Structures are given as structure tokens and as C-alpha cells.
Amino acid sequence: MSAEPIRLAAIIGSVRDGRFGPTVMDWFVGEATQRDDVTVDVIDLAETPLSLTGGPTRAPSAEMAQELSRISPRIEAADAYVIVTPEYNHSFPGALKHAIDCHITQWQAKPVGFVCYGGFSGGLRAVEQLRLVFNELHAVPIRDTVSFHGGAAAFDEDNRPKDPNGCNAAAKTLLDQLIWWAVALKEARQKRPYSA
């Protein structure tokens, strides 16, 4: 076990007005921060928007560079990621894809877990597509996922899950797997920097 807690960047994928994403993120952060083997940095893409015309590029405009400066160092510093995503038309939000595409080496040889929500599929179709994207980026998608079928309907009026036992256990499984990989890959990167 690594002496230092794993640095986890948790990214909210939805940015639209009236979005449900922050409620799901708040629940997840509450679970993660009960552990002493991880620290959490929440990256909210609605609070750190990226211009669509400014990237992805290796030579961003001054405006784009300024926008990226608010999230890129945090993505770089992380040892692991959790993406909190809804499902839009059987996939994940465009703003999330843009933020992913604006980074390359930052994701490499690091694990990525998924918390998803949506209608019938509970967001799982979005996650299946994210797995392909992160594979391409040399990241390591984690097998087990937390999925909320029905999205907001799975939460009560106090914004807490109606079935906390199920999702809390799923979050523990996800975090156990994510942190195992994060420790293993961090040690491996320190021994031998990853070269794609």
C-alpha cells in the first residue's frame, strides 16, 4: 500500500442548466471521503468551461490556455479519475468529450472509474463508450461501475439515494478496484515512466 493517499480527480460530465450531476457527485464524494486512502478533487466542467473552437490543439490560443490552466494541472496531478456522467442519446455529454480530448499524456497509465445515471440503462451505454475513449488514451478503465437507473428518481427529496445500501456497496467496490490500480500504476510509473 502506498503511504500517500491516492489523488483522485472526480469529474462531473454534465454542464447543462438544471443538471442532476452535482447531486450524484455529492453522494459519491461523501462515500469517497470516508476513506483514508484517497483524497478527492472535484472538477466541475460547468465551472471550468472550455471553448469549442480553442482546442484540442498543441498550440492553444491565449484564451484557451487560460481556460485549460484551471483544469489541466489538476488532471495532471491526479493518480486516478472517476467520471460522473449521465447518458445522452446512448452516449455521454459533448462537453465531457471535449475536456477529455483536450488532454493526452495526463490520462496515460492511470485508472478511470465511472459513476453513471440515466433512464432505462442507468447511464451504462455512456460508460461503455467512455471505456473505448479511455482505452485509446492509454488509461485503464475499471471494470465495476456504479449505475443509477432512472437518474433523479433514484434519489429522495433530500438528494440522498433511496437505496443507499446498494449504491454505497457499489461505490466501495469501485473505489477498492480503482485504488488498487492507482497504487500499482503509480509505483510502475515511478519505476519506469510510461511511454506510449
Ligand X SMILES: Cc1cc2nc3c(=O)[nH]c(=O)nc-3n(C[C@H](O)[C@H](O)[C@H](O)COP(=O)(O)O)c2cc1C
Q: Which residues bind ligand X (CB under 6 A)?
A: 14, 16, 19-21, 86-90, 117-121, 151-152
Amino acid identity of residue 134, one-letter, is F
Terminal C-alpha separation, the chain: 26
* Minimum distance, C-beta of residue 193 to ligand X, in the bound complex (Å): 36
Q: State which residue, 20 or 181, has the beta carbon closest to ligand X.
A: 20
The residue (of 28 and 181) whose beta carbon lies closer to ligand X is 28
Total Cβ atoms within 10 A of residue 52: 10
Q: What is the spatial distance between Cα 103 and Cα 94, in angstroms, rounded to a whole number?
A: 15
C-alpha cell at 36: 483514508
Smaller CB separation from ligand X, 16 or 70: 16
CB of 176 to ligand X, least distance (A): 26
Name the residue whose CB lies closest to ligand X. 119
Q: Strands (DSSP E) along the chain, which ranges?
A: 6-12, 38-44, 80-86, 111-118, 140-141, 146-149
Handedness of CA 19, 21, 23, 24 (dihedral sign): positive
Contact (CB, 8 A) for 57 and 91 = no
Q: How far is the CB of 57 from ligand X (least distance, A)?
A: 27
At its nearest, how many Å lie between ligand X and the CB of residue 182?
26
> Between 71 and 116, whose beta carbon lies closer to ligand X?
116
